[in-house]
Structure 1
Amino acid sequence: MGTASVALVTGAGGGLGAAIARALAGRGHDLVLNDLEPSERLEALAAELRALGVRVEIMAQDIAQVAHLPGYVAGVAARMGGLDVLVNNAGVSVLSRGDLLEVTPESFDRCIAVNLRAQFFLTQAVARHMLAAPSARRRAIVTITTVAVDHVVGRVLAEYSMSKAGLAHMVQHFAARLAPQNIDCFEIRPGMMQTPMTSTSREKYDRLIAEGFVPAGRWGELDEIGKVVATMASGEFAYAVGQTIHIDGGMRMKMF
């Protein structure tokens, strides 16, 4: 096994995935960048991170193809000499923002397939690998959900929020199962972040922020999520089993 901790970041081709990868690289982790397929964006990110002195490999895989995940995880570990950190960041939004009564089976099934089913079985495959390959290093699985899990109800994102709520429960189950084996499981709930997923509703969210819906009074920055992921992956919070970290500017707080 190599001397550096190895982290697998799913959805690394997106803005949040890239921010997470940068933060982990800044902490000295070697990285596997995952997305549906290789891209120029991933190649540019890999080159940027290699300049920091860490090893970076691009290993594409559609995580919704769950039958392939055990082999994929084994391939990651074999190529990198181990696997110490998983960041469940990949996800999809709804096919069409609209009334709950208009949600289609296609949009519902897509959110469940990618945001919940795929991440459950990827986490399972990584956990199995970690248990089969004991390490003196404390390891971590960090899962990105959303403030809309239980503190905020979106009128147009029901199937997305429901899939993420399932992830929140998933983290608790894996945390209880893996804590005795020195594997930390954490959930991070972002609030309003400027990503492609929120770009179609930017005007609406700008108005909500101006009206005080976010106590911090601003959008969240992607690197703020990255820094927290890297901190939770450090192994320094061994007794914080299954904790949820809210990076939401206070959105979950009910003010009067």
Structure 2
Amino acid sequence: MAKKIAIVTGSRRGIGLGIAKELARNGYTVVISATADEVQASPLMDSLHADGLSTEYIRCDVSNKQDRDNLFSLVMEKYERIDVLVNNAGVAPLKREDILMASEEDFDRSININLKATYFMCQKAANLMIKAMQSGLEDYHPRIINIGSISAYTSSPERSSYCISKAGVSMVTQLFADRLAEYNIPVFEVRPGIILTDMTSVVKGKYEKLIAEGITPIRRFGMPEDVAKCVMAACSGMLDFATGQVINADGGFHIRRL
């Protein structure tokens, strides 16, 4: 049986790395990708290989078309298949700034990396997946999973560009789930809540207080592993008929409560 191949963008640390590890532990060869060069990524890769995980590193700035094309070309040249694409790469605002003062630079950066890149990564992967399916590739059931955020529907006026970009990711998921249904390629959104990562470390105290006060029914920080398990559920095949579904990895934050 051919080895299954997964690509996880933005996977050098945080949620992305948690997802990459979980996929590798479940038998995938995982292409880890981020903007760091190979030398910077080598300590991580050595550690993963020492743990017996089948991974390789390909540098990719997802906001750059040439980098995206190079990533897919290298993967297809070596493996001739992509079984799972996880669009995880994303950035927080450069500066938390009131929406009345937010800059075009920050807006463009969030949209280009979080939204535009996700759209075109889905497009490129989808076409390669369709082609592979039509070639008669055996045991091939590809899936696309986009990592969204509770910020898609939760107003944070000091992080407006991030919220808008993640709301867009939700629609990207719906659009591709609709379009790819005829090819039996399911597309999902995994929507993390308050996850303990480098991105949230700068406001850890604020979130600790909110969690203690019950902003989430499960009163703890989420961990990258919590998100990774939801990704694995989407990869399992058990949810394929639920294409387009949002899987909330948020400790119950989405529940409306009185």
User: Are the aligned partners of 1:74 and 1:129 in contact in 2 as well (CA < 8 Å)?
Assistant: no
Partner of 1:72: 71
Which deviates the most, 32-41 or 162-171?
32-41
Please name the residue that 2:175 is paired with. Answer: 173
Q: Distance in 1 between matches of 2:238 and 2:4?
A: 14
Kindly indicate whether the alpha-carbon contact (under 8 Å) linking 1:108 and 1:159 is maintained by their aligned counterparts in 2: yes
- Give the count of matched residue pairs: 254
After TM superposition, give the deviation of residue 68 of structure 1 in Å: 4.2
Q: Which residue of 1 aligns with 2:149?
A: 146
Give the C-alpha shift of residue 118 in structure 1: 1.0
Answer yes or no: is the 8 Å Cα contact 1:25–1:52 preserved in 2: no
Match of 1:103 in 2: 102
State the 1:52 CA deviation: 5.4
Secondary structure of residue in 2 paired with 1:142:
strand
Q: Distance in 1 between matches of 2:167 and 2:208?
A: 25
Indicate the percent of aligned positions where both proteins have the same amino acid. 35
Q: 1:233 is matched with which residue?
A: 235
After superposition, where does 1:153-164 map in structure 2 within 5 Å?
A: 153-164=155-166
Residue 93 (structure 1) aligns with? 92
CA distance in 2, matches of 1:105, 1:156: 14
The aligned amino acid for 1:195 is T
SS for the counterpart of 2:225 is helix
CA distance in 1, matches of 2:193, 2:225: 13
Look up the SS of the partner of 1:143 in the other structure: strand
Q: 1:147, CA displacement in angstroms?
A: 0.8
The CA distance in 2 between the partners of 1:99 and 1:232, in whole Å, is 36
SS of equivalent residue, structure 2 residue 100: helix
> In terms of mean alpha carbon deviation, does 66-75 or 117-126 score higher?
66-75
Instruction: Name 1:118's counterpart in structure 2.
Output: 117
Give distance in 1, aligned partners of 2:3 and 2:48. 14
In 1, are the aligned partners of 2:38 and 2:59 still within 8 Å (CA)?
no
Q: Deviations over 1:35-59 (max 9, x none)?
A: 1123566334433443455532111
Shift of residue 71, structure 1, vs aligned partner: 3.9
- What is the TM-score with the length of structure 2 in the denominator? 0.92
SS at 1:133 equivalent: helix
The answer for the alignment partner of 1:217 in structure 2 is 219
Alpha carbons 1:185, 1:242 under 8 Å: kept: yes
Equivalent positions of 1:2-17 (< 5 A) are 3-17=2-16
Residue type of the alignment partner of 2:23: L
1:4-27 deviation per Cα after TM superposition (whole angstroms, max 9, x unaligned): 110001001121111001110111
Rounded to whole Å, the distance in 2 between the matches of 1:41 and 1:21 is 18
TM-score (norm 1): 0.93
For 2:18, the equivalent position in structure 1 comes to 19
Q: Is the 8 A contact 2:34 2:61 kept in 1?
A: yes
Moved more, 76-85 or 104-113: 76-85
Tell me how far apart the structure 1 counterparts of residues 120 and 96 of structure 2 sit (CA, whole Å): 27
Look up the equivalent residue of 2:129 and give its one-letter code.
Answer: M
- Compute the displacement of 1:173 (Å): 0.6
Taking the aligned partners of 1:196 and 1:71, their CA distance within structure 2 comes to 28
Q: Per-residue CA shift, 1:89-121, capped at 9, x if unaligned? A: 000111111211111000000000000011111
Change (3 A) 1:109 1:31: same
Q: Per the alignment, in what secondary structure is the counterpart of residue 231 of structure 1?
A: helix
Q: Which moved more, 1:125-134 or 1:104-113?
A: 125-134
Conserved 8 A contact 1:138-1:183: yes
- For structure 1, the 5+ residue unaligned runs are none
Contact preservation (8 Å) 1:66, 1:122? no
